[in-house]
Amino acid sequence: MATPTPEKLLEFIKEKNVKWVDLQFMDIPGYIQHITIPSYTLREEDFTDGIGKLDGSSIKGFKSIFESDMRMFPDPNTCAILPWTDNTPHRTLRLICDLYDAFGGPRFTRDPRYIAQKAEEAVKKAGFDFSYWGPELEFFVFDSFKLLPSFSTARDAWSGTGYEIQSKEAPWSQTSGINHPIRFKEGYYPAPPQDTLVDLRNEITGQLYDYFNIICDAHHHEVATAGQCEIDMKYDTLTKMADNVLTYKNVVKNVAYNMKMVATFMPKPIFGDNASGMHIHQSLWKGMNGKSRNTFYDPDDEYAEISQTCRYYIGGLMEHSRALCAITSPTTNSYKRLVPGYEAPVYIAWSKRNRSASIRVPVYEKGKEAPKRIEFRPPDTSCNIYYAFAALTAAGLDGIKKKMDPGNPCDENIYHLTAERRREMGIKECPGSLQEALNELESDRKFLESIFPKDAIDMWIELKSEEYKQNSIRPTPFEFYQYFDI
């Protein structure tokens, strides 16, 4: 429905016989959280006074137990019927919420959506009107996934010492196969019957448009075997696109579940094959109401038709790339993706067309202002999308403010350059582990403070450092393979 007032939304709920309202938000690590209330309890004043239903001490990184009460303010612009509840007795309306401290308190400073909104304010303060964002989400869909747990302690009962993945597309498939398995690293654009997930992607794309008004440009099988997919959304403004990513991940998981499969946005579930990334396209614009101008475009630039503003923005991303990885590639599993040999952007450089560089300027068309943008390639789908967009904005604006020169573009296959040649060209590498990335963030965090509150950065480093520690102290299946007979 069109942008509704709270009054119109309540009328819509009655008219469509909506039984439940699902109040959603994203926690700090990037998981979707929700609480469901009966539709008849939603009042018009809830949109201005908030709903006191949130215990912040039970959400990772939010509040201590002595200050746990929080309020949720539904955003009527995010209303949508959840498609898997439509045509059922439990039709449910989704609303994404802004989070506030209780007792008339202000916005919760670590609320990811609030930080994304602050990033949009920073764009305006820097002299622009808005930014466009186009993330390319990749994910895997398996027929089944089993975690083989260790019962050494009650606390670790489900921490896992092994796992089993089944996919009818995979060379190792033990399910009723298709007799056309997709070989490792040969999954890009195969037609059915090898591509078994066309119907699933059609259903996801249809639900995104029909229920959430999210336009998708295309969908296809990705490079890896065993059900790697990509569905590309049309670009949108910063917070709106972050909301769309939250919605996208929720729809993907629920469609897969209802088709008796399982979807994951874990970057690297399969060793020896390509991982799932999330290349993020971005641009800065001036002007509103149909008279906007892409500040990244300069038709007189012979190299890639990019402006000096765009070059400075690239310079900011390059300057802060290693720290950015702690937010855009924020899991231990992320760094199993960021290794040479799997098309992952390991090297910090920029170029047009060149997918071995971490920052690419797409040049599909010449003389076109609207599509001119840059693509930041290190991120993956395990990130908190609100934090990721905000961090990239902070880095790019810092580059513009300080006129950071990105240096010369690298129009060579960086994967084939020797280490000595890369040093000569000043090409650095992305961090090799989450801990290394967090160390970089700790030493290079000032640029974020124009958007992120200090306590948000502190909490991020604390949570992610604990994640790294918990992963580093547990035995893995490969350690058993490598060391059991020592």
Interacting residues of 185 by C-beta distance below 8 A, sequence separation 6+:
223, 224, 225, 273, 274, 342
**Coil, strand or helix: which one is 465?**
helix
Residue with tokens 């395990």: 382
CA gap 324, 327 in Å, rounded: 5
How would you class 147 by CB atoms within 10 Å of its CB: exposed for 0-12, middle for 13-18, buried for 19 or more?
A: exposed
H-helix or E-strand spanning residue 268: none
Catalytic annotation, residues: 55, 136, 138, 222, 230, 279, 355, 375, 377
Classify the C-alpha dihedral 186-192-197-202 as positive or negative.
Answer: positive
Report how far apart, in Å, the C-alpha atoms of 140 and of each of 28, 131, 346, 404 are: 23, 29, 22, 38
SS (H, E, C) 159-222: CCCEEEEECCCCCCCCCCCCCCCCCCCCCCCCCCCCCCCHHHHHHHHHHHHHHHCCCEEEEEEC
- Reduced to 3 states (helix: H, G, I; strand: E, B; else coil), residue 86 is coil
Residues facing 70 on adjacent strands: 54, 101
Euclidean distance between CA atoms 369 and 360, whole angstroms: 17
